[in-house]
Copies of this chain bind each other. A is one copy, B any other.
Amino acid sequence: MIITIIGIGLIGGSLALSLKQNNYASWVLGVDQNPVHGERAVELGIVDEVVSFDEGIAKADVVIIAVPVNAIVQILPRVLDRVDRQIVIDVGSTKESIVNSVLRHAKRGRFVATHPMAGTEYSGPEAAISDLFTGKCTVLVDKENSDEDALSEIQRLYQSLSMNIVYHQSHEHDIHTAYISHISHISSFALALTVLEKEKNEKRIFELAGGGFSSTVRLAKSSPDTWVPIFEQNRDYVLDVLDEHINTISQFRTLLIKKDFESFYKLIQQANQIRRIVK
């Protein structure tokens, strides 16, 4: 299969590497509006050549759109305008705005909306790694709106990466990712800001940052170019869960103020239940 990656960053680049390595892709074309990213991607062996937007679509069997979600809603209709037999997927963290951007497009059937649930806090082609997806989950969204051949080809693509496929409706996907992924990022951004504000002595932070702190603020290194558009598109669901989160933290504060350590203990025991779910 000839694959065209539009946006050769962490996710696009990692997909390119993995799909070449497992021989799903016979040839990978890269499209990136940043010529430096394009050059780097060729040097790093992520893509075989860099081509123009039109050429990338014309020559592809599968086009993968891996740009920030605000850019996906701009680019996706333009890609579908140029599509004939090709299959197009996006890999954005939100889904409702994206599927709505092409809801009545004549070529809607060639598009499969996907969200591989994997990532790191890094970005750009240098961040691409080949084993990012193995064993992780990918969500295929509103599958009834995709042509059958397109859907089954994309299932084959993700299966080739040893990913588990689940199916959601787009709004349902956006609610669940607000809960599980998006709120983690705000929590981590806020924690980093709190510590940077409280602890002006950076050497101290460096010295005292054990494994716990490092893993909790890991996501705070994530790029605003990726994340602000996600929060913009998923604002309402994120607000809902953010309120719940603030209430929960405030509950811990209230118990500390009251010195009610028995209830504090019970809250932690409840939180420990996450062990059953996340290994």
Q: Is A43 an interface position by the 8 A CB rule?
A: no
Say yes or no: A181 contacts B221, CB within 8 Å.
no
Interface string of A210-247 (1 = CB under 8 A from B): 11111111111111100110011001001101111110
Say yes or no: A256 contacts B268, CB within 8 Å.
no
8 Å CB contact of A249 from B190, B259, B274: B190
8 Å CB contact of A242 from B216, B223, B253, B259: B253
Q: Is A139 an interface position by the 8 A CB rule?
A: yes
For A117, A136, A198, the residue with the greatest tally of chain B CB atoms inside 10 Å of its CB is: A198
- List residues of A (71-98) whose CB comes within 8 Å of B's CBs: none
Tell me what chain A mostly uses at the interface: helix, strand, loop, or mixed. helix
Say yes or no: A241 contacts B183, CB within 8 Å.
no
Which chain B residue lies CB-closest to A239? B256
Say yes or no: B217 contacts A176, CB within 8 Å.
no
**A211→B278 CA distance, assembly (Å):** 10
**Chain A: interface size category:** 35 or more
Say yes or no: A264 contacts B228, CB within 8 Å.
yes
**A183→B216 CA distance, assembly (Å):** 10
Q: Is A273 an interface position by the 8 A CB rule?
A: yes
Q: Known: A211-B120, A256-B239. Is A194-B224 also a contact (CB below 8 A)?
A: no
Q: Is A205 an interface position by the 8 A CB rule?
A: yes
Say yes or no: A212 contacts B194, CB within 8 Å.
no
**A118→B243 CA distance, assembly (Å):** 32
8 Å CB contact of A117 from B202, B210, B250: B210
Q: Is A2 an interface position by the 8 A CB rule?
A: no
Say yes or no: A277 contacts B193, CB within 8 Å.
no
Q: Is A187 an interface position by the 8 A CB rule?
A: yes
Interface string of A126-149 (1 = CB under 8 A from B): 000000000011010000000000
8 Å CB contact of A207 from B137, B212, B246: B137
Say yes or no: B179 contacts A199, CB within 8 Å.
yes
Q: Known: A187-B249, A242-B253, A250-B246. Is A217-B274 also a contact (CB below 8 A)?
A: yes
Chain B hits for A249, CB < 8 A: 186-187, 190, 242, 245-246, 249
Interface string of A162-180 (1 = CB under 8 A from B): 0010100000000011011
Complex A-B: 9 CB contacts under 8 Å: A117-B208, A119-B211, A180-B213, A187-B190, A192-B271, A202-B276, A218-B278, A235-B256, A245-B249
